[in-house]
Amino acid sequence: MSYRLRVNGTPQELEDGWLGESLLFVLRERLGLPGSKNACEQGECGSCSVLVDGRLLCSCLVLAASALGCEVTTVEGLGGPDPTALTDVQRALVEAGAIQCGFCTPGLVVAVHDLLERVPEPGDWEIREAISGNLCRCTGYGRILDAVQRAARLRSAARRTSSAGAG
């Protein structure tokens, strides 16, 4: 079958697909977007996290065909127009030393971005709950928690600067 998905704001035509393909497979293997990682393919680790119409989902558990007509946002689509620039969340993870092997990082970036969009100044338990679906086998989570708080501060400062500029 042929079908069309909208990914990171761009319509994508897919040919020779089959109904059972996961969204993760299509993103990585058909569309060349390797940011979403394939670690467990069972919804256990969160390394494949994406936003589908703004909802945080494990793309390994979603059939690509069920995302027709939806807006899919991957980690590659979270930044600004310069694809080489780090997002505030990525910067905070680097600065907090929260990246070791990096396999969990893209999924964490998507989950933290989702949290900060919903809860701009999250408390410790809100952060823990938001990343509870993202397994990290390396860091022990302490630095990840620091990074999320740092990202929240960066985002608040950016908001204050832009509202001062607007006023």
CB 9 within 8 A of CB 79: no
- Chosen residue from 8, 28, 35, 38 binding ligand FES by CB under 6 A: 38
* Residue 139 in the binding site for ligand FES (CB under 6 A): yes
Cα end-to-end distance, the chain, whole Å: 52
The residues that bridge with 10 in the sheet, in sequence order, are 7
Quote the CA–CA distance of 66 and 113 in Å, as a whole number: 23
> Among 43-51, 73-81, 84-92, 158-166, which window interacts with ligand FES (CB under 6 A)?
43-51
Quote the CA–CA distance of 156 and 41 in Å, as a whole number: 35
User: What x/- string results for residues 99 through 138 when contact with ligand FES is judged by CB under 6 A?
Assistant: xxxxxx-------------------------------xxx
- Give the interface size with ligand FES as a residue count (CB under 6 A): 22
Select 40 or 70, whichever has its Cβ closest to ligand FES.
Answer: 40
Token pair for residue 68?
């027709």
Q: What are phi and psi of 73, to 5 degrees?
A: -120, 125
Catalog residues that contact ligand FES under the rule CB under 6 A: 38-41, 43-48, 58, 60, 99-104, 136-139
